[in-house]
Structure formats: C-alpha cells, structure tokens
Chain A
Amino acid sequence: MKPLHAFRYAAPANFYPLAGRLQPVFAALALGLAIAGLGLGFGVAPTDAQQGEGYRIIFVHVPASWMAMFLYCVMAFWAAVGLAFRIRLAAMTASAIAPTGALFALLSLFTGALWGKPMWGTWWVWDARLTSTLVLLFLYLGFIALKAAIDDPRRADKAGAIVAIVGVVNVPIIYFSVRWWNTLHQGATIAFTKSASIAPTMLWAMLLMALAFWMYAIAVVLARLRVILLERESHTEWVKHALA
C-alpha cells in the first residue's frame, strides 16, 4: 500500500532535503519583508501624538512578543504530536523551535525595558504582562535544559513534551493579562473585537515586521532542525549519503 503523501515528509530522509530547499526561500522572504517593514516604519509612518518617536520600538517589540508566544504554541503542538504518535521528526521540531522562541522572549523583554524606561520611567515592573513574559522565557529555558539533561533522546523527548504542554497555559495568561489585571502595560494594539488603535501606516509596518520575524523563525528553525537531524540520525544510511 502506498503511504499517504502528507506523511512522506515525516521521514527524516525525505524531510532533510526538502527543508534544505525551503530554508533559503524563507530567509529571502524574511529579509525582503524586514526591509519593507523598516522602510515603512521608519521612513513613512508618522510621529505618535503621545509618545513622539519613541513609539517606533513597536516595530520590533510587538513582532518579537507575538513570535515568542506563537512559537511556544507551535513548539508545544509538535511536542504533543511527537508524544502521541511517536513521530521523531515532530519531537525534533519542538527542540529546533525552543532556542528561537527563547531568543524572541528575551528580545521582547529587552525591547520592552527600553520602551518602558522613557514612557513609564522604569525598566521593569513586576506586573502581570511583564512577569508572565519572563515566565515564558523560563519555560523555554526549562524545556531546553531538561532535554539537554536526559541522555536518552527518546526519554528526553517525552519529558520535554510534558513540560511544553503544561506550559501552554501561560500563553493566554500573557495575552489577556492587560485585560484581566491592572497593569502599566498598554492594551492590545490590535484586537479581533475592534479596529486597530493606530494609524494605518504604523499598523502595516508592524504587520510587515511581524511577517518578517515569522519567516525568519521558519528559516532558522528549518536550519536547526537539519542540524539536529544530522546529529540524531547519524547512524542511518540517509545521513551517510547526505555526507557524500
């Protein structure tokens, strides 16, 4: 019986060359979108009435924060798939996502501090939005550390998956924190329930940057997944052929 076409690429031997072909496409998309987004955000978007030019941090802060939350969900999804169906590639995908997610969480906190200082007068406050984002960073680091601490990769996949899945509860807490609690952090710039609260060029620049960060994340995760595949499948025939 011929297997379903969709599962063809769950086999590392087929996925490795596919990822190698896709990775430069996403890298080029990321670069193009970032140039467009920065051009629109820094060359066209008007000055903000309240925050002057300081608001322009939004063009990197919001995309980094979105990606930190989104990547966590994607990581937990693939970890769960790997756990439920014992698909090695899914578990390896979760491992490949974690460092990039952690980096975006760190960037979110760093750019947030640089925005908080001039606007609120402080680099950091222990309020709901900031604290839950810090927890997100620790969840990523915990996932990475736990997997690194277990020698048997299959057991590491299992343990990591459970941490990843339990940690998902933090993502809606971050997202809704500005509504559920009183916080210094401003409300959502874009919400599904109302029209965006910023000028159209600001919005477009932010969305372009978010897309650029997204494409960057895909490119980097594919590249890391390829390296992880080489490391973990080094005993297999396809890796030997890939080396030749």
Chain B
Amino acid sequence: MPWHSAAEFLAMGGYAGYVWGSVGACALAMTLEPWLLHRRRRRVLRELRRLRAAAPVQTSVSRRITARRRQTA
C-alpha cells in the first residue's frame, strides 16, 4: 500500500486535481452514457407502443388467435 493516510491518498502527491479530474471524467462519462441510452430506449418503446395502440396492426399470430376464437365460439 503506497499510502499512509486517507488525506495522503486524496492529495495524490500534489496531483489531486489532475488524477481525480481524469478518473472523475471517465466515471461521469461512463455513468451518463448508459443512463442516456436507458432513457432513449424507454422513449422509443413508449413511442412504438403508442403508435401500435393508435393503429393496431394484425400480425400473423394475432390473426390466427382471432380465427381460432371464432371457430370455438
């Protein structure tokens, strides 16, 4: 362990601003990017669901299901 105290660790031998600035910038960027992606995904899903609710499209599966319902009814 190259450090004797927490203060010494934080001071980084006088390079605190440079070292923690670099590590902090990476940590910030690598937290923001996944967060923004998560928001984009939610926005896209919401939009697609809204479009689908507005104009329900018959898929081959849903068509088969309605056909079977009609048969059994």
Digit string of A208-232 for contact with B (CB within 8 Å is 1, else 0)? 0000000010011001101100110
Please determine whether B15 and A53 come into contact, CB atoms closer than 8 angstroms.
yes
Q: How many A-B residue pairs have CB under 8 A?
A: 96
Asked if A54 contacts B57 (CB within 8 A), the reply is no
Chain A: interface secondary structure?
A: helix
B1 contacts A107, C-beta separation under 8 Å: no
Summarize B's interface: helix, strand, loop or mixed.
helix
Chain A residues closer than 8 Å to B22, beta-carbon distance: 57, 60-61, 110-111, 114-115
Known contacts A107-B26, A220-B34, A223-B41; A56/B12 CB under 8 A: yes
Known A-B contacts A118-B15, A230-B44, A231-B44; A111 and B37 likewise in contact (beta carbons under 8 Å): no
- Taking CB atoms and an 8 Å cut-off, the chain B residues in 3-33 that contact chain A are 3, 9, 12-15, 17-19, 21-23, 25-26, 29-30, 33
A-B contact sample (15 more), CB < 8 A, given A54-B19, A103-B29: A43-B1, A52-B15, A53-B12, A53-B15, A57-B22, A60-B22, A60-B26, A61-B22, A114-B19, A220-B37, A227-B41, A227-B44, A230-B41, A237-B59, A239-B48
Question: What are 29 A-B pairs at a CB distance below 8 A?
Answer: A27-B34, A38-B23, A43-B1, A43-B3, A44-B1, A45-B2, A53-B12, A54-B15, A54-B18, A56-B15, A56-B19, A57-B18, A60-B22, A60-B23, A99-B33, A107-B29, A114-B21, A115-B22, A220-B33, A220-B37, A227-B37, A227-B40, A227-B44, A230-B44, A230-B45, A234-B51, A237-B60, A240-B57, A243-B48
**What 9 A-B pairs come out closest when comparing CB atoms?**
A53-B13, A54-B15, A111-B22, A53-B12, A52-B13, A114-B18, A57-B22, A60-B26, A227-B41
Interface residues of B (CB under 8 A from A): 1-3, 9, 12-15, 17-19, 21-23, 25-26, 29-30, 33-34, 37-38, 40-41, 44-45, 48-49, 51-52, 57, 59-61
